[in-house]
Amino acid sequence: MNCSDISTLSPLYLAGELDAERAAAFAAHIATCTECKRELERQTEIDALLRAGIMAETTDTSAVDQRVLHQIQGSHRRSSRKAAFALAIAALLLLAALGYRSILSKRMNTTQAAAARDHRVEIVNAQPRKWITKASAIENLAASQGLPGAAIARFAPAGYHLAQGRLCFLNGRIFVHLVYANPVGVISIFVRKPVGLAAAEFGTAARANDFGDEHVAGFEKSYLTAVVVTEQSSGEAMRLANSLAATI
């Protein structure tokens, strides 16, 4: 098992979903590869912070409770059972939506923090990493993650060109880290295709955060999760994120 295999299988390993043979091979590689071990420890720490944030979230359900109670008390016995059932389902759906929005918001903030850190380490500090620089190979890498490879060139903001790309982990999920450059500097764009419940379209507007010198903006839509990192300004990060969303 090599470093590329570790990058692909880390989410399954952290979730305890690898079969015994692959789990043993994964652990053996981690025991001898300092870089992969450090990356796995970082993702474990991020996952722990995310779980703690989600568990700390509370939802005020008093308004929903009062409405359900009022409707039940104001109905005849037979009709009230139907109404109670319908209202209970509606309340559950509402709470699920509110809770999921909260989870997505927390996840995006944590993902943005991880993206800022990766940009600082890999781009600003130029720590040694295995980058792909050939455009066709980067497109193939994106396609392997369910992204349209041909769209990678379109992700480039006006005046920028695709410089390099690689797979990375942000918040326990695999992203394609794309680096675009112009004569002034470089930006990082992290993209992935949402799957499962993550594909529900919540919070489609770009949201921005600052992490030291890194200005980050991102969005999570049904067809793409994206995070943009720049050292220029928060406004520029938002502009780049909105421009990216408009190209899809």
Provide DSSP, 138-190: HHHHHHHTTS-GGGTGGGSPTT-EEEEEEEEEETTEEEEEEEEE-SS-EEEEE
**20 has a pLDDT exceeding 90:** no
In terms of domains, do 41 and 123 share one? no
pTM: 0.58
Residue 231 corresponds to which tokens in the numbers above?
């050292």
In a domain, 16, yes or no: yes
In terms of domains, do 121 and 231 share one? yes
Q: How far apart are CA 10 and CA 17, in angstroms?
A: 10
In terms of domains, do 190 and 117 share one? yes
Domain tally, the chain? 3
Confidence label for 64 from pLDDT (cuts 50, 70 and 90) = low
In a domain, 102, yes or no: no
Q: What is the pLDDT of residue 200?
A: 42
